[in-house]
Copies of this chain bind each other. A is one copy, B any other.
């Protein structure tokens, strides 16, 4: 697939997979009705065990994000976009507090924001 896993992260691999799929849908790289990679293919691509991908997919199914297609894999159903955006903003809020507490100045911070939200660049968050 199109994303890398950070094995040194404390975030479990299966959660990273879930997050990546959801983000890909939000960003439009995956649309409703699209097939996502088969469990075995994705596992091979990102170098993890089949069970790890299977768990991610199973939970995405429970969340209503994907749907199993008998014998053909999983297709995208859609995501609760607004809900996920709120979660992201919450995450951002926490991180910004850390930044401020750590003495990062407002100007420095705005510079980082500009790097991402400047005219073009920055659409790709996982390459």
Q: Which residues on A are within 8 Å of B, measured CB to CB?
A: 7, 10-12, 15, 19, 22-24, 26-28, 49, 62, 70-71, 81, 84-85, 88-89, 91-104, 106, 108-110, 112-113, 115-117, 122-126
Q: Cβ of B115 and Cβ of A102 under 8 Å apart?
A: no
Q: Cβ of B117 and Cβ of A89 under 8 Å apart?
A: no
Interface SS of chain A: helix
A89 touches which of B62, B91, B99 (Cβ 8 Å): B99
Name the residue of chain B whose CB is nearest to the CB of A94: B125
Known interface pairs A49-B71, A117-B96; A101-B85 also in contact (CB < 8 Å): no
Known interface pairs A113-B109, A115-B93, A117-B96; A101-B71 also in contact (CB < 8 Å): no
Q: Cβ of A116 and Cβ of B102 under 8 Å apart?
A: no
Q: Cβ of A85 and Cβ of B97 under 8 Å apart?
A: no
Chain B residues near A126: list those with CB within 8 A. 97, 101
| Interchain CA distance A113-B91 in the complex, whole Å | 12
Chain B residues near A104: list those with CB within 8 A. 85, 88-89
A-B pairs with beta carbons under 8 Å apart, 9 shown: A23-B101, A27-B101, A81-B102, A85-B102, A85-B103, A85-B108, A93-B112, A97-B122, A100-B116
